[in-house]
């Protein structure tokens, strides 16, 4: 049986979460969407602002262009902020320490393509997924030595440290080259002799291909990741508000518009049949 994710399931789960919180539903909903966002109840770093973090190095999800921070994650962050009646305040921080930054209250949430994993769930809470992406192998175009996952054994693999791709690479080799940007790793991959492979998200690799890098995807996705908004465990009201806002932008078409702007398709509309869901 095919497991096809629908927008309605996202909306329904968010609604169930709000109902489970109890209290006066109508007043809490109105408070979360008024001019000041009910921000006094959300334990925000800065009153009236939704401060969200990403690495700023993960094109096309979050990156700097012309001095401005932009990308799919940034547009989603801005849309969620608007829906909650808050001023968007996206910031950048190194990926290697981004969870530490959240748990020490340097920002309110991570909206930076962070995949849900059991290890991360021990530290923070996650919203409903706001997109699905495949973890895949890329090689230099014309490569004949790595044609499947099995060929990664002992290969020199480029990944971003502390990422799910880093964890995957460690299963195959001790020869890992670390980067702070997937894009830079893919640029090195395109240079003869630098790397044997890079493990990253399918959409990131396709974006690099479209930009002219001579790389190619090997095989099918190794897994499907669920990217979600990370929030401190004690901030239950903020988590509920984010899930409500996410359901709203999916329902009103804002999400579809943003996703199609960056990828020409809806990243929540994914066929999950026969593919491992990373957790």
CATH number of 49-132+227-263: 3.40.190.10
pLDDT of 64-110, one tens digit each? 999 999 999 999 999 999 999 999 999 999 999 999 999 999 999 99
Per-residue confidence (pLDDT) for residue 271, from 0 to 100: 75
Q: When comparing pLDDT for 3 and 208, which is higher?
A: 208
Evaluate if residue 29 carries a pLDDT over 50.
no
Q: Which residues, listed in sequence order, are joined to residue 178 by a DSSP beta bridge? A: 159
Q: How much of the chain exceeds pLDDT 90, in percent?
A: 80
Q: Give the sign of the dihedral formed by CA 159, CA 162, CA 163, CA 164.
A: positive
Q: pLDDT averaged over the chain?
A: 88
Evaluate if residue 250 carries a pLDDT over 90.
yes
Q: Which strands make up the sheet holding 62-65, listed edge to edge?
A: 57-58, 62-65, 68-70
User: For residues 148, 145, 59 and 14, what is the CA-based torsion angle, rounded to 10 degrees?
Assistant: 10
Q: How much of the chain exceeds pLDDT 70, in percent?
A: 85
Burial class (CB in 10 A: 0-12, 13-18, 19+), 87: middle
- Which residues of the chain form CATH 3.40.190.10? 49-132+227-263, 134-224
What is the pLDDT confidence band of residue 19, given thresholds at 50, 70 and 90? very low
How many whole angstroms separate alpha carbon 1 and alpha carbon 274? 10
Q: Which residues, listed in sequence order, are joined to residue 90 by a DSSP beta bridge? A: 52
Q: What is the mean pLDDT of residues 125-136?
A: 96
Per-residue confidence (pLDDT) for residue 185, from 0 to 100: 97
Evaluate if residue 254 carries a pLDDT over 60.
yes
Fold of 134-224: D-Maltodextrin-Binding Protein; domain 2 (3.40.190)
Instruction: Read off the pTM.
Output: 0.78
What is the pLDDT confidence band of residue 39, given thresholds at 50, 70 and 90? low
How many whole angstroms separate alpha carbon 14 and alpha carbon 18? 6
Evaluate if residue 11 carries a pLDDT over 80.
no
Helices (H), the chain: 7-20, 25-32, 72-83, 98-103, 118-121, 164-169, 182-189, 202-210, 236-251, 254-263
Evaluate if residue 61 carries a pLDDT over 90.
yes
pLDDT of 211-247, one tens digit each? 999 999 999 889 999 999 999 999 999 999 999 999 9
Evaluate if residue 181 carries a pLDDT over 90.
yes
């Amino acid at each position: 049986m095919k497991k096809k994710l629908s927008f309605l399931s996202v909306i329904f789960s968010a609604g169930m979460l709000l109902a489970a919180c109890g209290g006066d539903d109508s007043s809490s909903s109105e408070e979360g969407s008024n001019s000041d966002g009910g921000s006094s109840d959300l334990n925000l770093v800065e009153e009236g602002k939704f401060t969200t973090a990403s690495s700023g190095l993960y094109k096309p999800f979050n990156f700097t262009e012309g001095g401005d921070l932009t990308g799919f994650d940034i547009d989603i962050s801005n849309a969620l902020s608007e829906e909650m009646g808050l001023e968007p305040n996206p910031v950048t921080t190194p990926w290697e320490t981004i969870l530490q930054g959240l748990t020490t209250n340097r920002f309110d949430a991570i909206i930076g393509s962070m995949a849900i994993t059991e290890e991360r769930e021990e530290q923070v809470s996650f919203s409903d997924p706001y997109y699905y992406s495949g973890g895949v192998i890329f090689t230099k175009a014309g490569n004949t030595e790595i044609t499947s996952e099995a060929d990664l054994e002992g290969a020199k693999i480029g990944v971003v440290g502390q990422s799910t791709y880093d964890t995957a690479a460690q299963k195959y080799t001790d020869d890992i080259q670390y980067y702070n940007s997937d894009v830079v790793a893919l640029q090195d991959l395109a240079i003869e002799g630098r790397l044997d492979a890079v493990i990253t998200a399918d959409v990131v690799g396709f974006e690099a291909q479209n930009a002219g890098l001579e790389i190619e995807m090997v095989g099918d996705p190794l897994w499907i990741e669920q990217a979600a908004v990370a929030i401190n465990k004690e901030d239950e009201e903020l988590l509920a508000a984010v899930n409500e806002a996410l359901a709203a932008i999916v329902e009103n078409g804002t999400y579809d518009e943003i996703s199609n702007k960056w990828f020409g398709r809806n990243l929540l509309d994914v066929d999950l049949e026969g593919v491992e869901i990373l957790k």
